[in-house]
Amino acid sequence: MQLYVDSANINEIRHAASLGVIHGVTTNPSLLAKEDPNVDVKQRILEIYQTVGGHLSVEVISTDTAGMLKEAEGILSWFPEATIKIPMIEAGLSAVKELSRQNIPTNVTLIFSPTQALAANNAGASYVSVFLGRLDDLAQDGVQVVEEVCEIWDRHGLESQIIAASIRHPMHILQCAKAGADIATVPYKTLIQSLKHPLTDSGLQSFLKDYEKMQAEKAKLLGNV
């Protein structure tokens, strides 16, 4: 399962990219706004792409098909490698159908049920983003929805890539990997948490201490010769 970082913060993205563990970035209008309300979106997106170079989803904000297509055209004029992120609404499905006809990659976002994922796939989405955390927030089982989507995909050999989104903690990453999601898009903090284990830190400390001890013993022996 590939990992993307779900962020618009360039420092976070740079650091995640430097670790070599991410294959792409997803953004959304809220993440961009959280960074800096005055952020130059175009500049930030290009900066992110120069940093990571893999998948980069850029979300439209129109809610009608014509508007979405116009926005997509605008985005692609300055960033031809963009994956256009489209909300899971009827107008969005029509936009996905048209963009797919033009071989333009799309990521259908705000998917909360297997039937929505299926519809997005059938409209021609390249990626379907299933939001877990927001379901968990409503006491619904987000991981179960990802599992159901993966089961349907396996049974029917469907083509869209499944992105597990709205990830809240490392356990979500593990559960989505076990379920068979293709990608998890993870907030920076959760990504870093998922790399850590206290036994790694304490193990490293004892290796270093033992090595130092060994060097000191050697120095002592040499001193005695």
Pick 131 or 153: Cβ nearer ligand E4P: 131
* φ, ψ (nearest 5 deg) of residue 5: -100, 135
Buried/exposed 143-165: b ≥16 CB within 10 Å, e otherwise: bebbbbbbebbeeeebebbbbbb
Strand, helix or coil at 184?
Answer: strand
Q: Comparing C-alpha atoms, which of 81, 97, 160 is closest to residue 126?
A: 160
Single out the catalytic residue among 34, 42, 70, 85. Answer: 85
* φ, ψ (nearest 5 deg) of residue 160: -60, 145
- Assess whether 85 carries a catalytic annotation: yes
Pick 34 or 178: Cβ nearer ligand E4P: 34
Please state the closest distance from residue 57 (CB atom) to ligand E4P, in A: 6
Please state the closest distance from residue 129 (CB atom) to ligand E4P, in A: 5
Pick 29 or 74: Cβ nearer ligand E4P: 29
Give the angle subtended at the CA of 125 by the CAs of 122 and 130, to the nearest 5°.
95
For 197, the token pair is 């284990």
Pick 124 or 172: Cβ nearer ligand E4P: 172
Please state the closest distance from residue 122 (CB atom) to ligand E4P, in A: 20
Residues lying near ligand E4P in the complex (CB under 6 A)? 6, 26, 28, 109, 129, 131, 133-134, 165-166, 185
Please state the closest distance from residue 53 (CB atom) to ligand E4P, in A: 18
Contact yes or no for 182/150 (Cβ under 8 A)? no
Catalytic residues: 85
